[in-house]
Chain A
C-alpha cells in the first residue's frame, strides 16, 4: 500500500528543520500492517487530518520527550475517519493505552479510566507508541490501511459527513481542554490561538462551561477572527490587543510596564509557544488556571507571575471521561459539539497523498491562508 512514512533518520530530521520543508516524511510503498491480536481489525482511512503535533514531527521540530513513545518507521496520522471491512464508518480514538497493549494489571490511570495518562505507552505486546500514528505496528492515518483495536473505534453517527467525523478526535482534545479548568474558576476565559484546537475550545467553553460568561479569543487572521466570533467568542483580539481586552472584560488596570492588576480566570493556550505561554501567564488573574491545550516544545517563559500569582499551569492532553461532565467521554461530548456547531465545516482543504508536500505546507500556514483543518483524502486511495 502507499503511505507517508517517517524513518529514524537524523539526516532527514535535520534537513526538515533547517530547510523548513516537511522532509522528515516520504511517500512510500509499504506492506499493510498486520493485526497484532484477535481484537484488532484492519481499517481503511477515508480522511485523516494533519495536526500541529504531526507538523512538528515532519518539520523536525518535535520535542525529544516523545522519543521513547514512538517506534520507527511509523506512518503518521491520528485524526482518522475510516471504514471497516464490513463497511462501517468509524473514528479512531488513537491513544495506545494499557488495555490496547494487553498490559495487566492496568496502570492506576487506566484503571481510573484516564487512559490519556497511561504509564505504559512503551510496554505490552505492542511496539512503543503513544498513539496510533506513532507506532510502527499499527500504521497511521496517512496511508491506505492501518490496524486498530476494537476498543479504539467509535461508530460515526448516521448522516454525518466524513468531514464532520474526522473532526471528532481534535475536537475531543479541545473538549478535554475546556473541561480541564476547575469548575467555578470564574467568569472570564481567554483562548489564545484560533486554529482547530483554539476554535473548538471556544465552542466547547460556550457549550459545556456555563460558569464562563465571557470568552476573549486571540486570532491573527481574518477567517480565524470570523470563526472565533461565530463559535461564541465575545471579543476577538489581535495578539497585541489581548491584555487590553482582558482588562476591559475584568475591570482591572494596566500598570506602567503593561502588566495587568487582575486578569482572566482561566486561560487556554492553544498555541504552545514561548510567546503564547508568556502571554497566557501575563493575562491570568491571581489564582487562575492556565491550560496548555496546544502542544508546546521547549519554551522560555518568565515564571515569576506563575509563582507570585499562584497560577496553576495545567496540561490538557487527549481525552477521557470528563469529571466535570458527569464522566461523559470527551469523544461523546465532541460528537455533540460537532453536531451543534457544524464543525465539519472547519475542514478547509483535502489533498491526496501524492500532494503531501502541498498539504503539509498548506497546513503549516493554514491560518494565514484562510484555512483551519487540512486533511488527506484517502477515499480514492483505497480503490487502488
Chain B
C-alpha cells in the first residue's frame, strides 16, 4: 500500500534531514518547534502489463476520438511526435515509455497499411538529441527503422521551410508549428507526463512550435501570472497553450494524444535512502549514505557528474490514456496529482530547497548557474497548488554548489547571458526588453541550435522568466555552498551552511522564522491550504 505524502513537524527527536546539494547530499539539522519537512507520497503501484494497457488505451480512446486503428488508412500521412530528453528525470531505465507507445502505434499503423510515417522529436527550442539519447528514448528497433531513411526528425524551430503559420488566437497569439506535423492527416503525440505542466495542448503547441509562437507564453508576464505553472487552473502558460491548441483543432490539425504517467520511483535500490524518511532509515541505508558521501567526496566534480548522469531511474508506468487532447489530459493530471500531491497547511517564512544534480535542461550536461536558478525558483518553488509554501516576502534557501561552469556545446547562449546580461541586471522585465530579441535572432546561436546540440539562443531567458514569479514573491534568495561569485552574479546571497543561511534570512523575516524543508526529489506538489 502506497503511503501518501507527509508533513513532519520537526522536534528535538527529529534526525537530520537529507538535503540535496547537486552531485551530493547532506544531512541538515533543522530548528525544532518551527520547522517542518514536506515529504512526497511513496511511489504508486505500476501497471502490471504496460504494453497491454497501451494497446487498450489506443483501442478505447477518451473524449470524442475514434480508436487509433480507425483513424489510420492507406495512403495517409502520419506523424508521431514525442517528448524529448528533458523528461523523465532522471532518465528512466529501458524500455522508456516512449518506446513502448511508439512501437504499439507503429504496429497498428503497419496493420492499417500506412506507409508515410515520420517520427519527430518535439524539441521546441531545446537541444537536438544525440543518437544514443534517441535510441534510449525510442528503442533501437524504431531508431534503426526510421533514422537511416531520414524519417526520424528533430523539430527545427528555425527552419522557415519546415514551419507553417496556422493562425492567430483571439488574444493575438501566433500559432506556428512544424509543417510536416501540421500537414499530416494525423499527429500522434506521445507524452511522458512527469509533472502537471506537461502534456495537454502544450505538447503540440509548444513542443512543435517556433520562437514566433512560443514567445507569446514564454515571457515574464505569463510566468508572473502563472501561480503556479504547475497548477493548470491558475496558469497563464496553460491558458495560452490551450487557446493555441483549440485553434489548431479548429484549423483542422488532427491530434491523437497519448499520455503516460510514471510513479516517483526515482532512484535505484542501492540508494534507496534518497527517497525514504530519515527516521525510517535502516542500518543499511545509513551505511549507504555514509559510503556514498565518502565516495563522492573523493571524486572530482566532473567524475561525480558522470556518476550521477549514469543513474537510470526505475520509474514505472502508472497510467496511459489516449484520444482527444483535453479528455486525455484531464485523466493524466488526476494521475499526476495522485502521485504527487501533498497537503500542506499554510505558508512558512522560509523554504529550503536542496537542488539535485539534474533538471530538465542538463540531462547529460552541466547544471550551470542559470539552471540552478531555474531549478530552484522555477521548478521547485512552483511545485505548489494554491499558494507557495513560503510566504510573500519570505526567503528561499537553495542548496547547490552552483559552479561557474557551462557546457559549451549545449549552452553557448547561457554563457553569454551569464557574462553579459546578468552582469548588467537580474530584473526579468529589463532583461526581456533589452536583450531577448538580440539573443533570439543571433545567427551563431541559430546555427548551433540547428546543426549542433545547443539550446536555442533565447533559452536562458526562458529559464530566467521561469523564476520570475518567485523573484517577485520572495524577499531574498540565499544559496548554500555555492560558488560565491556565481551566486552573486545571479543576484542572490551566498552562505556557507544552512545555519548561516537561516541567520541571514532573519534579516528579512525576523528571528525564529518558520521553515519548510521541501524534501524533493522525488517530485511532489505541495497543496498549500
Contacts and interface: CB of A to CB of B under 8 A. Distances in A.
Contacts, number: 25
Contacts of A241: 419
B75 to A, nearest CB: 44
B420 A245 contact: yes
A237 interface: yes
A150 interface: no
Interface stretch (B21-29, B207-215, B349-357, B442-450): B442-450
B472 interface: no
Nearest to B438: A248
The A interface is mostly helix, strand or loop, or mixed, namely mixed
B139 to A, nearest CB: 32
Contacts of B56: none
Interface stretch (A159-167, A181-189, A205-213, A251-259): A251-259
Interface string B406-428: 00000010011001100100000
A244 B444 contact: no
Interface string A224-250: 000000000001111001001101100
B7 to A, nearest CB: 44
A253 B416 CA distance: 13
Interface string B423-467: 100000000000000100011100100000000000000000000
Chain B interface bracket (under 10, 10 to 19, 20 to 34, 35 or more): 10 to 19
A194 to B, nearest CB: 15
Contacts of A251: 442-444
B444 A253 contact: yes
B369 to A, nearest CB: 14
Nearest to B443: A251
Interface residues of A, number: 13
A237 B442 contact: no
B442 A248 contact: yes
B419 A245 contact: yes
Contacts of A244: 415-416, 419-420
Contacts of B420: 235, 244-245, 248
Interface in B159-215: none
Contacts of B443: 251, 253
A165 to B, nearest CB: 35
Contact of A254 (B419, B423, B438, B444): B444
Contacts of A252: 444
A91 to B, nearest CB: 37
Contacts of A245: 419-420
Nearest to B412: A254
A241 B404 CA distance: 13
Nearest to B447: A253
B34 to A, nearest CB: 38
B430 to A, nearest CB: 16
A279 to B, nearest CB: 16
A244 B414 CA distance: 11
Contacts of B416: 244, 248
Contacts of A237: 419
Contacts of B442: 248, 251
A229 to B, nearest CB: 9
Contacts of B438: 248
B70 to A, nearest CB: 50
A245 B416 CA distance: 8
A245 B417 CA distance: 11
Contacts of A236: 423
A248 B442 CA distance: 8
Nearest to A258: B408
**Interface hub of B415, B416, B447 (most chain A Cβ within 10 A):** B416
A248 B415 CA distance: 11
Contacts of B419: 237-238, 241, 244-245
Contacts of A238: 419
Nearest to A237: B419
A233 to B, nearest CB: 12
Contacts of B415: 244
Contacts of A247: 444
Contacts of A253: 443-444, 447
A243 to B, nearest CB: 11
Nearest to B419: A241
A187 B344 CA distance: 58
A248 B416 CA distance: 8
Contacts of B444: 247, 251-254
A245 B420 CA distance: 8
A204 B412 CA distance: 33
A248 B420 CA distance: 9
Nearest to A240: B419
B235 to A, nearest CB: 33
**Interface hub of A237, A238, A253 (most chain B Cβ within 10 A):** A253
A353 to B, nearest CB: 39
Nearest to A251: B443
A247 B413 CA distance: 11
A294 B447 CA distance: 38
B449 to A, nearest CB: 13
A251 B443 CA distance: 7
Interface in A293-318: none
A237 B442 CA distance: 19
B280 to A, nearest CB: 48
Contacts of B412: 254
Nearest to B418: A241
A247 B457 CA distance: 14
A251 B416 CA distance: 13
A248 B424 CA distance: 15
Contacts of A235: 420
A143 to B, nearest CB: 44
A254 B443 CA distance: 11
A247 B438 CA distance: 12
B459 to A, nearest CB: 16
B106 to A, nearest CB: 38
A364 B438 CA distance: 40
Nearest to A225: B423
A199 to B, nearest CB: 18
A235 to B, nearest CB: 6
Nearest to A241: B419
Interface in A250-303: 251-254
A56 to B, nearest CB: 31
A248 B444 CA distance: 9
A5 to B, nearest CB: 44
Query: Which 9 pairs between the two chains have the least Cβ-Cβ distance?
Result: A253-B444, A241-B419, A244-B416, A248-B416, A244-B419, A235-B420, A244-B415, A251-B443, A248-B420
22 contacts: A238-B419, A241-B419, A244-B415, A244-B416, A244-B419, A244-B420, A245-B419, A245-B420, A247-B444, A248-B416, A248-B420, A248-B438, A248-B442, A251-B442, A251-B443, A251-B444, A252-B444, A253-B443, A253-B444, A253-B447, A254-B412, A254-B444
Given A238-B419, A241-B419, A251-B443, 16 more contacts: A235-B420, A236-B423, A237-B419, A244-B415, A244-B416, A244-B419, A245-B419, A245-B420, A248-B416, A248-B420, A251-B442, A251-B444, A252-B444, A253-B443, A253-B444, A254-B412
